[in-house]
């Protein structure tokens, strides 16, 4: 066993770097509800600039950022078109339905991407029986599709549908920087077709807490009110924002290393009998373990006995997520542990 467990459950487990801790210690702060926290203000400006939008809002989490975005774009009784395995639909505890009173209209995608024609067909025409469509939401990278990158031309086509029907388009870009690095494009280029974008500082970028939503200035003003209403006004949040600024400044380019580690892990796993591996595009490796005769939860429990942590995302599906706190040695160790497990040793 290695000294520390190899934790591949998620990139959310990443710990702040020494530079982040220093920046947090030294952060200039003020009351952010009065907009007097200079470090939060700097993060919001920097995030908006990086994503090519007018303004930004620092929020507690990706889930809160998506919830605030849905609430700000829609009115109760409207419908939101989104992918059937998207995080907003699958993993956000029905917050938008409960708090926003909206109905979800999930469409099945391919590798996380929706068919623009199906999106257009799902937009509701005027009819006494129908809820009006209020929003289209996409996810890039797509988590449950294994960190899949949305093809830019597919996003463009859906943006045209949104524009034709005068609908806002939101991006759950929790991992937009992974998509940008994988495509060799800027985050601003990927964000351009969207009205609003949420991205996370606390995943592959390694900050301890927080996400940012970006969009038009008047929209962010309304989002700020929703954040307060939801209890997300954070006062001296500069200590957190300081780590976010370091994340944007120092942690984006290195995501390529996580992608290379995911590819190495996938290649090694694909050579083992009983495993079906989805070739990774970014930092996630999805593996169907049905061929081993084990359930995903039994499989991950066996790995955990040897100090390797992975997640089960369906009865026979296991997810490994690479990130800055797992190096190549951890990946090779993981491959050795899985090989032994499969040989029944
Ligand atoms: N995803 C987490 C879990 O919630 C599943 C993970 O381990 O991958 N959008 C996307 C695409 C996400 O993957 C996540 C987190 C979020 C939003 C929510 O972010 P947080 O955890 O900050 O609320």
What pLDDT is stored for residue 344 in this prediction? Answer: 85
What pLDDT is stored for residue 345 in this prediction? Answer: 78
Domains and CATH numbers, the chain: 6-13+254-343 (3.90.1150.10), 18-250 (3.40.640.10)
The alpha carbon of 283 and the centre of ligand 1 are apart by a number of angstroms equal to 14
Give, for 225, the enclosing helix (H) or strand (E): helix 217-229
Q: Which of 10, 14, 62 to mutate to test the pocket of ligand 1 (most atoms within 8 A of CB)?
A: 62
Q: Where are the alpha helices (DSSP H) in 37-186?
A: 38-51, 62-73, 87-90, 95-100, 116-122, 152-164, 176-183
* 297, 301, 302, 307 alpha-carbon torsion, rounded to 10°: 140
pLDDT tens for the chain, 345 residues long, are 888 999 999 999 999 999 999 999 999 999 999 999 999 999 999 999 999 999 999 999 999 999 999 999 999 999 999 999 999 999 999 999 999 999 999 999 999 999 999 999 999 999 999 999 999 999 999 999 999 999 999 999 999 999 999 999 999 999 999 999 999 999 999 999 999 999 999 999 999 999 999 999 999 999 999 999 999 999 999 999 999 999 999 999 999 999 999 999 999 999 999 999 999 999 999 999 999 999 999 999 999 999 999 999 999 999 999 999 999 999 999 999 999 999 987
Q: Which of 85, 96, 150, 174 to mutate to test the pocket of ligand 1 (most atoms within 8 A of CB)?
A: 174
Which atom, in ligand 1's list, is nearest to the CA of 66?
17
Which atom, in ligand 1's list, is nearest to the CA of 12?
7
Copy the structure tokens of residue 320. 């490994």
The alpha carbon of 63 and the centre of ligand 1 are apart by a number of angstroms equal to 7
The alpha carbon of 200 and the centre of ligand 1 are apart by a number of angstroms equal to 9
Residue having the nearest C-alpha atom to atom 7 of ligand 1:
10
Residue 43 and residue 46: Cα distance in Å, rounded?
A: 5
Copy the structure tokens of residue 7. 């934790």
């Amino acid at each position: 066993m290695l000294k520390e467990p190899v934790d591949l459950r998620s990139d959310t487990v990443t710990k702040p770097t020494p530079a982040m801790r220093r920046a947090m210690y030294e952060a200039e702060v003020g009351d952010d509800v009065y907009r007097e926290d200079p470090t939060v203000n700097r993060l919001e400006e920097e995030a908006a600039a990086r994503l090519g939008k007018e303004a930004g809002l620092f929020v507690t989490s990706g889930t809160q950022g998506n919830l605030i975005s849905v609430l700000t774009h829609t009115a109760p009784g409207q419908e939101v078109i989104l992918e059937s395995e998207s995080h907003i639909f699958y993993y956000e505890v029905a917050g938008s339905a409960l708090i926003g009173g909206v109905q979800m209209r999930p469409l099945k995608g391919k590798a996380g991407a929706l068919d623009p024609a199906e999106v257009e067909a799902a937009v509701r025409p005027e009819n006494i029986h129908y809820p009006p469509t209020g929003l289209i939401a996409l996810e890039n990278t797509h988590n449950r599709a294994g960190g899949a990158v949305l093809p830019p031309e597919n996003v463009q086509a859906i943006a045209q549908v949104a524009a034709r029907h005068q609908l806002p388009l939101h991006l759950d870009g929790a991992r937009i920087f992974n998509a940008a690095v994988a495509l060799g494009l800027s985050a601003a280029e990927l964000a351009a077709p969207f009205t609003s974008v949420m991205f996370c500082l606390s995943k592959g970028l390694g900050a301890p807490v927080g996400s940012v939503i970006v969009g038009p200035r008047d929209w962010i003003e309304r989002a700020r009110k929703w954040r307060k209403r939801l209890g997300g006004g954070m006062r001296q949040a500069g200590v957190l924002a300081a780590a976010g600024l370091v994340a944007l400044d120092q942690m984006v380019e290195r995501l390529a290393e996580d992608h290379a580690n995911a590819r190495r892990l996938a290649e090694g796993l694909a050579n083992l009998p009983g495993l079906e591996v989805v070739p990774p595009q970014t930092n996630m490796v999805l593996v169907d373990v049905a061929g081993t005769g084990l359930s995903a939860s039994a499989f991950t429990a066996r790995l955990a006995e040897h100090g390797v942590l992975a997640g089960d995302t369906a009865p026979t599906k296991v997810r490994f997520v690479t990130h800055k706190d797992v190096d190549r040695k951890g990946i090779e160790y993981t491959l050795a542990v899985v090989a032994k497990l499969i040989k029944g040793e």
